[in-house]
Structure 1
Amino acid sequence: MGSKIHCAHILVEKLSVAQDLKARISKGESFANLAKEFSIDVSKKRGGDLGFFSRGAMVSEFEKAAFALQKGQVSDIVKTQFGYHIIKRLD
């Protein structure tokens, strides 16, 4: 596994919203479009794209989930102090 990974995420405040978005992604809706519409993070303008990052750059819960993903895979819902994330590994 490389030292840097490329991910996008959707960040929302409510678990119920995260669950709805996760279901919509599972049915084939565009991760980037949902991020632009629903995410509360500044990365929403880029479809949730966080760029490349290495270990230690993100909070531990987020980092653990992100580094466990394979390219193209979408995480389960991850709770951090910022809210509820859905993470997609881009590269």
Structure 2
Amino acid sequence: MHAAHILVKTEKQAADILAEVNGGKNFGDLARKYSGCPSKKKGGDLGWFKRGQMVKPFEDAAFAAKKGDVIGPVKTEFGWHVIKILEQR
């Protein structure tokens, strides 16, 4: 799985960002602006990962989605995520 994400502190922030993405805003730009994860410098890009490399709620949500999907809010121990599925193999 190749995904990008935006990590924020509250469910409301994640929902608001998801609405912005669904309204046509650029995911990478929003990640650089709002995300609390170091991946924000790369537009939220997490690179490739396989099952067992991410925390379970994040992984379950990502692997249930399809290429091109933007999903969320997803709660983990780190906060709330908006996830974009970039590619799958």
Relative to the length of structure 2, the TM-score reads 0.95
* Contact in 1 for aligned 2:15/2:72 (Cα 8 Å): no
Q: How many residues of Structure 1 are paired with residues of Structure 2 in the alignment? A: 87
Q: AA paired with 1:63?
A: E
1:17 is matched with 13
* Pairwise CA RMSD: 0.6
* Contact in 1 for aligned 2:62/2:83 (Cα 8 Å): yes
SS in 1 for 2:72: coil
Query: Which consecutive unaligned segments of at least 5 residues does structure 1 have?
Result: none
Whole-angstrom CA distance in 2 between matches of 1:76 and 1:20? 10
* Contact in 1 for aligned 2:14/2:72 (Cα 8 Å): no
The residue correspondences of 1:29-48 to structure 2 (distance < 5 A) are 29-48=25-44
- Aligned-residue identity in percent: 52
The residue correspondences of 1:50-69 to structure 2 (distance < 5 A) are 50-69=46-65
Whole-angstrom CA distance in 2 between matches of 1:37 and 1:9? 12
Whole-angstrom CA distance in 1 between matches of 2:43 and 2:35? 9
Relative to the length of structure 1, the TM-score reads 0.93
The residue correspondences of 1:69-88 to structure 2 (distance < 5 A) are 69-88=65-84
Write out the 4+ residue segments of structure 1 that deviate beyond 3 Å after TM superposition: none
